[in-house]
């Protein structure tokens, strides 16, 4: 496949180009780095609170600010992406990430300035997340787009895992501001790569006319919100992402009372993400082959519950690690299956519209992150909030039983 087409051949109406992988790699890089910036304070909550002389909640706010900023910005950013193209929109996000990532390292000894810089990074995030389907639609054929989105998802999870594992290790040998400056340098470098390498679209489309991803439309929104099962799946995502983000945000606080160190917390959080990587790769193809969505949504939620119980109560390190892996494996597997389910039950709503609404509800789950902190016991244990999470997941499983299995073409 040529990097760029020979435009002297008039009969060539559409094709895919090898340069699509360069564009995707540049996009994956900035998605990976912004996740490092998001999660890097979570596994060192205790040491960071002591360093800055603030509460654990104030350190948790550094991660929660990403979810808070996403809620009002999601739909306006989607409009910018659809109206002006992903390259301009994502470039705005990349520049914000690079500038404020570096700034957070430079002012890293002052909590107030760190928070302001973090808010700047958080504003960048929707410019990246909301373009997940737009980039593949511009460059990839219809039968490669799910793979492309899956690779961006993979980069997103890998970035979170790196932040969880690497940060506690680095702070053993260097101060927190230096660690953040290193991450800021990575952010600036990845942003520069995107600006240099990204192109809005190939010279000719990657698919026949009529197969392009449609823009976010009011009619599509109205139709999706009239589908009862779509509201149920939105609740399932709200709960699932709330529980997952809550545990990621407070992981060091959750395991600290059982004698685990910040390094242990980073390892536990990273193993949960590794489990999620395997779950996202293994379960969705099985769902595709069997043409079943409801079954795997239900199994994912139910089988994640024992892992949640282990993360809540286990005192042996090996058991916490196994529980974290199982929890991530089954809960994260629900995400791609659920997004595809939403796209199928809301047809003819554009896929980007249904996925955009799911992202919005998932980020709105920041409410649960706050609730977990508010519910902690007098000795600082997060057991009450984790038990609430268990109850909400059981309720989600019950709601999944009420979903209708979507029809599949050819059946």
pLDDT for position 5:
46
240/364 Cα distance (integer angstroms)? 11
Please give the Cα distance from 172 to 235 (Å, whole number): 40
CA distances from 199 to 9, 202, 237, 357, 391 (A): 22, 7, 32, 27, 46
pLDDT (0 to 100) of residue 409 = 45
pLDDT of amino acid 7: 42
Identify the pLDDT of residue 341.
80
Tell me the C-alpha distance between 374 and 390, whole Å: 17
CA nearest to 239, candidates 391, 55, 365: 365
Low-confidence ranges of the chain (pLDDT < 70): 1-12, 14, 142-147, 150, 205-221, 349-355, 407-411
**Spatial distance between the Cα atoms of 61 and 253, rounded to a whole number of angstroms:** 14
Q: Are 199 and 25 in contact (CB under 8 A)?
A: no
* Domains detected in the chain: 15-213 (1.20.1250.20), 214-404 (1.20.1250.20)
Q: Are 151 and 23 in contact (CB under 8 A)?
A: no
Query: What is the structure's pLDDT at 8?
Result: 43
Taking the whole predicted model, whether its pTM rises above 0.85 is answered as no
Q: What is the pLDDT of residue 11?
A: 45
Per-residue model confidence (pLDDT) at position 407: 63
pLDDT of residue 305: 95
Whole-number pLDDT of residue 308: 94
Q: 207-219 pLDDT, tens per residue?
A: 665 555 544 446 6
Q: Decide if 89 contacts 135 (C-beta within 8 A).
A: no
pLDDT at residue number 256 = 86
In tens, the pLDDT along 277-311 reads: 888 778 877 877 787 888 999 999 999 999 999 99
- What is the model's pLDDT at position 88? 94
Within 10 angstroms of residue 387's Cβ, the number of other Cβ atoms is 14
Classify 207 as helix, strand or coil. Answer: coil
């Amino acid at each position: 496949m040529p990097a760029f087409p020979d435009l002297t051949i008039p009969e060539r109406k559409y094709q895919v180009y090898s340069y699509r992988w360069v564009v995707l790699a540049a996009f994956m890089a900035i998605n990976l780095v912004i996740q490092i910036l998001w999660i890097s304070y979570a596994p060192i909550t205790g040491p960071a609170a002591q360093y800055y002389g603030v509460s654990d909640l104030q350190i948790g706010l550094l991660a929660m600010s990403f979810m808070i900023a996403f809620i009002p910005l999601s739909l306006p950013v989607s409009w910018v992406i659809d109206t002006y193209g992903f390259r301009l929109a994502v470039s705005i996000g990349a520049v914000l990430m690079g500038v404020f990532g570096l700034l957070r390292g430079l002012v890293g000894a002052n909590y107030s300035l760190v928070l302001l810089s973090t808010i700047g990074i958080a504003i960048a995030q929707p410019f990246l997340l909301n373009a997940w389907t737009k980039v593949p639609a511009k460059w990839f054929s219809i039968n490669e787009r799910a793979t492309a989105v899956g690779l961006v998802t993979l980069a997103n999870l890998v970035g979170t895992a790196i932040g969880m594992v690497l940060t506690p290790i680095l702070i053993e040998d260097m101060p927190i501001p230096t660690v953040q400056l290193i991450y800021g340098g990575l952010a600036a470098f990845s942003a520069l790569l995107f600006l240099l390498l990204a192109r809005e679209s190939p010279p000719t489309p990657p698919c026949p006319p009529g197969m392009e991803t449609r823009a976010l439309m009011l009619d599509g929104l109205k139709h999706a919100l009239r589908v009862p099962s779509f509201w149920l799946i939105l609740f399932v995502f709200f709960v699932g992402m709330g529980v997952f983000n809550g545990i990621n945000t407070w992981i060091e606080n959750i395991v600290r009372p059982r004698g685990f160190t910040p390094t242990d917390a980073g390892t536990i959080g990273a193993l949960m993400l590794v489990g999620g990587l395997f779950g996202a790769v293994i379960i969705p193809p099985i769902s595709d082959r069997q043409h079943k969505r409801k079954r795997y949504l239900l199994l994912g939620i139910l089988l994640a519950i024992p892992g949640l119980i282990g993360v809540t109560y286990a005192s042996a390190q090996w058991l916490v690690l196994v529980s974290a892996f199982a929890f991530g494996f089954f809960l994260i597997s629900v995400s791609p299956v659920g997004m595809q389910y939403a796209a199928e039950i809301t047809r003819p709503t554009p896929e980007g519209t249904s996925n955009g609404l799911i992202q919005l509800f998932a980020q709105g789950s920041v409410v649960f992150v706050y609730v977990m902190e508010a519910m902690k016991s007098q000795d600082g244990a997060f057991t009450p909030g984790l038990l609430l999470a268990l109850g909400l997941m059981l309720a989600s499983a019950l709601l999944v039983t009420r979903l209708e299995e979507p029809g599949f073409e050819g059946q």
